[in-house]
Structure 1
Amino acid sequence: MPNVRPYKSARQNVWRLIEGQYRPATQKIVDTSAEQEALEHLLEASKPTIPPDCAHLDYQFSAPFRYGCYPHNSRFRRQGPTPGVFYASEHALTAALEAAWITVKFYRASPDTAIPRTARNHTAIQADIQVPVALDLTDPQMAGQGNWTHATEYHDCLELAEKVRTENCELLRYQSVRDPDARANFAILTCRAFAQPAPVQTQTWHLFHTPDRVIIDNETLRQRFEYLVGPQRFEPVK
């Protein structure tokens, strides 16, 4: 791994998509608002304790840091009891593509599961991030010092994430693998990185999947995008 890293301070607004069904899911099994509130409290009490340095944050920001046992390796977080990572994107569309790829992976792993013929609803949340120490992996000094954009192998990224945490780095900027326009993603490594405790902006998005493509609607801005599903990324429709 590189011994010298071009750390800089950073201030950046980033986007992340979250599922939009968290309250309707419990509403379906109760009869009144009071019952729903009681059920929500029971569910909250059953979850892991929020880390103290994340307690001031909206749950949409603190959730990735709350669950300490991670089910599988991701680009900058190892499987097991490892520190949390808030993954986000510079553009909301990139965040939508990243969320859509998770669904693609799920159905590839379960080929006998039918893809629903309805769109999945998501909320795009925008976070205001400010950190004194950040690292841009698209910087020419870093670009050739590790494989930061492999579609499935995360060894170099995981090694780097562990090292930079010891050097007080709180933000990694890197190229999206799933976005055909290769726009930027971010890995936020600490709760201290959030300059504001709640989203500064939200949008409503809908993701509709078929076996060979995804149709993405930004309801807020009345925009529609369509992509083909490639082997490891989305491809433009020609």
Structure 2
Amino acid sequence: MWTPAALASEFRRYRKTVWRVVEAQHRISTNRLAENSEDQKRLEELAEQAKPNLPKSARGLHYLFASPFRYGHKSPSRFRRADERPGIFYASEAESTAIAETAYWRLRFFSRSPDFVPGNRTSEHLSFSVAVSTSRAVDLSRPPFDTSVKNWTHPDDYTACQDFARIARKAEVQLIRTLSARAPGDGYNAAIFDPALFAGKEPAYRQTWHFRFEQGRLNAIAAFPGGGNFAFEPEMFGLPGLRQV
């Protein structure tokens, strides 16, 4: 069992550009509720007041940066227990890895919904990048942590990761680097605990992606002028195959 002091002795420098993929909710949705720009501004101010408070270091950041730290979701994630706050900004070191992570969660939702048959509707996602830098990172893919790599990349059981993250928070770890469980081999993820790591306040908008389930697989297609195209079958992630209407 690691202690905060022992963990602090393993700090590494981390300086990279990381990627995140989100559902395309970046367009202003309050437009349809307001008659003019003044009413819209007031509506957005009221909505902001109703939200949980942001950590101090996240204030003033673009909402794509800040939102993950605001909420404590009821469903746990790899390095966060249910309802634990502040939240974590999960990202990947390659755009393709972030796409694979997103594809897994969509296919997992499909496969675990009883009697659900995915249609062929296209959903829109947005990938964006941000440079991060810290001297308080730990790398679970390197010694002495790599001996427990099966714990860090278990597809479903996050207990070891959450226990580690609890100690990491006490040690004031700002970032945890780990192998991706969804894009094994050369895929790496970063769990960012402190928004102070971001090099800027605005993300670099990179690419719109269209996700579409057809012929038993989920296709991720980059919108023009991008040329990326990925295909993911449920079995690639250890999920049961899906039928389609």
Q: What TM-score, normalized by structure 2, do the two folds share?
A: 0.84
CA RMSD of aligned residues (A): 2.4
2:159 corresponds in structure 1 to 155
Paired with 2:156 and 2:104, the residues of 1 have a C-alpha distance of 12
1:193 and 2:215 are equivalent in the alignment: no
Structure 1: gaps of 5 or more residues: none
| Per-residue Cα deviation, 1:141-194 (whole angstroms, up to 9, x for no partner) | 211146101000011111111111222210111111112545001100111111
Paired with 1:12 and 1:145, the residues of 2 have a C-alpha distance of 24
1:124 corresponds in structure 2 to 127
Does the 8 Å contact 1:115/1:211 carry over to 2? Answer: no
Paired with 2:209 and 2:192, the residues of 1 have a C-alpha distance of 23
Paired with 2:107 and 2:13, the residues of 1 have a C-alpha distance of 35
Alignment of 1:211-222 (within 5 A): 212-219=216-223, 220-222=225-227
Pick the aligned partner of 2:233 from 228, 233, 236. Answer: 228
Pick the aligned partner of 2:113 from 93, 110, 116. Answer: 110
Does the 8 Å contact 1:131/1:170 carry over to 2? Answer: yes
Structure 2: gaps of 5 or more residues: 240-245
Instruction: Give 1:28 shift.
Output: 5.0
| Per-residue Cα deviation, 1:13-56 (whole angstroms, up to 9, x for no partner) | 10001111343644455666565545434433322222222102
The aligned length equals 233
1:44 and 2:48 are equivalent in the alignment: yes
95-104 or 36-45, which deviates more: 36-45
In structure 2, do the counterparts of structure 1 residues 202 and 114 end up closer, same or farther at CA, with 3 Å as the change threshold? same
Percentage of identical aligned residues: 32
Does the 8 Å contact 1:177/1:233 carry over to 2? Answer: no
Provide the secondary structure at the position in 2 that maps to 1:130: strand
Provide the secondary structure at the position in 1 that maps to 2:152: coil
